[in-house]
Amino acid sequence: NAGVTQTPKFRILKIGQSMTLQCTQDMNHNYMYWYRQDPGMGLKLIYYSVGAGITDKGEVPNGYNVSRSTTEDFPLRLELAAPSQTSVYFCASSPGQQETQYFGPGTRLLVL
Amino acid sequence: GESVGLHLPTLSVQEGDNSIINCAYSNSASDYFIWYKQESGKGPQFIIDIRSNMDKRQGQRVTVLLNKTVKHLSLQIAATQPGDSAVYFCAETPNTNAGKSTFGDGTTLTVKP
């Protein structure tokens, strides 16, 4: 199993541009998550999903959108990139509620 | 409000010593806790977990202690090795708000040879 994979690894965006961060897991996990991690800080939950077709907001959802059309994929969309969205983005998955989360390697995003 | 925090942002130990990393939480509804290790440039990795019906859980060289009375969690690493150098996060998940874990800001552990 590849686990959780994320693409791209690094991206530079200009203010106002849009992009989609891709996340795929091959463990057949129902739960998937998107976090952002600012330098020297912990993880902040952006959005999560408890199954295909179901998504919900986390702590910091503004400026982002998600979709979950399949169990495997959970893309994160930035519509109008802002400097405040410069961060490292981690995708994770878990079999269910209150279970270990498995993290991807992260996407480093720089908005200039 | 809810918070998960760590008492010390950095910890430096000698190789071979034991390390103790602390975490405080404030949500009484939290009943599942995980410690994660994050090496530079990588995603967090599971170390050990504990549920609220336990006070202590042991893994390989790691022990997690849970004190529900004072809402405190600790991670003990025995015979710390250079490979243990990383940032350690505690995370809490309440029995409500399905899937919404809260992470602390992390403690940076540095192991000196």
Confidence of residue B1 (pLDDT cuts 50, 70, 90): very low
How do residues A7-44 score in pLDDT, each as one tens digit? 999 999 999 999 999 999 999 999 999 999 998 888 99
pLDDT at residue A24, as a whole number: 98
DSSP 8-state assignment for residue A73: B
CA dihedral A49, B96, B34, B100 (to 10 degrees): 30
Q: What is the pLDDT of residues B52-75, one digit of tens each?
A: 999 999 999 999 999 999 999 999
CATH topology of domain B4-112: Immunoglobulin-like (2.60.40)
Rounded to whole angstroms, how far apart are CA atoms A76 and B110?
A: 34
What is the domain partition of chain A in residue ranges? 4-111
Q: What is the pLDDT of residue A56?
A: 94
Q: How close does chain A come to B14, measured CA to CA in Å?
A: 23
pLDDT at B6: 46
Interface residues from chain A to B (CB-CB < 8 Å): 4, 31, 33, 35, 40-45, 48, 50, 58, 90, 92, 94, 97-98, 100-106
> Domain locations in chain B?
4-112
End-to-end C-alpha distance for chain A, whole angstroms = 36
Architecture of domain A4-111: Sandwich (2.60)
